[in-house]
Amino acid sequence: MKEHVTPLITAEAINKRLKELAAQISEDLGDKTVTVICVLKGAVIFMVDLARLLPMPVEFDFMDISSYGSGTESSGNIKIDKDLENTIEGKHVLLVEDIIDSGRTLSHLIKHLRAQNPASLRLCTLLDKPERRVVNDVSVDYEGFVIPDKFVVGYGLDYDQRYRNLPYIGVLHFEE
């Protein structure tokens, strides 16, 4: 089976939106130290680029949570493969995710983080696919782009660990 990618969101559009998101976050949080939690691996590029634009002190932590495996559909089986290294109790937390699809993974993750008593917990996602949502208890504070129900890759997002290095976001197509 042959694959190809067609651009959906350009690198220029991503960079412009990153600046807007950073300005919103800065306005909301002021000069408070922010603990940025990156959901591995897809959100790494987004998180790094966003964090470099934030003017306040920033701490990083990482989580690895999976529900996809190697396919293009969520399995619905949510597993935390790597939890936080540091406590978030009493801290201002910005959870950075690459994409919200069904909402199952983030719903699970947000409950997990809230149980640790952060001072505040905000969610920033690069991409949102609202028409795929099956769990509606996820509130997005900062949203990069709303996209159609297509399988996307690039700018950190992958298909079977490939395409993460594309500087744009594209739709992955399969051909026989």
**Of 152, 129, 127, whose CA–CA distance to 142 is shortest?**
127
Burial of 94 (0-12, 13-18, 19+ CB in 10 A): buried
**What total of structural domains would you count in the chain?**
1
In SS3 terms, 60-79 reads as EEEEEEECCCCCCCCCCCCE
Domain that holds residue 95: 12-148
The pLDDT, as a whole number, for residue 73 is 54
**Of 129, 155, 132, whose CA–CA distance to 7 is shortest?**
155
pTM here is 0.91
Residue 7 included in any domain:
no
Residue 61 included in any domain:
yes
Residue 160 included in any domain:
no
Residue 130 included in any domain:
yes
Asked if 54 contacts 22 with a C-beta cutoff of 8 angstroms, the reply is yes
* Distance (Å, whole) CA 174 – CA 138: 31
Q: Write the pLDDT tens digit of every residue in 71-127.
A: 555 556 788 899 999 999 999 999 999 999 888 889 999 999 999 999 999 999 999
Report, as an integer, the average pLDDT of 123-136: 92
The pLDDT, as a whole number, for residue 77 is 76
- Among residues 31, 64, 98, 101, the one annotated as catalytic is 101
Q: Which contiguous run of DSSP H or E holds residue 93?
A: strand 92-100
User: 101 an active-site residue?
Assistant: yes
Output the domain CATH number for residue 33. Answer: 3.40.50.2020
Residue 166 included in any domain:
no
**Of 92, 150, 148, 87, whose CA–CA distance to 120 is shortest?**
92
Q: Is the dihedral of CA 167, 17, 151, 104 positive or negative?
A: positive
Residue 140 included in any domain:
yes
Percentage of the chain modeled with pLDDT above 90: 80
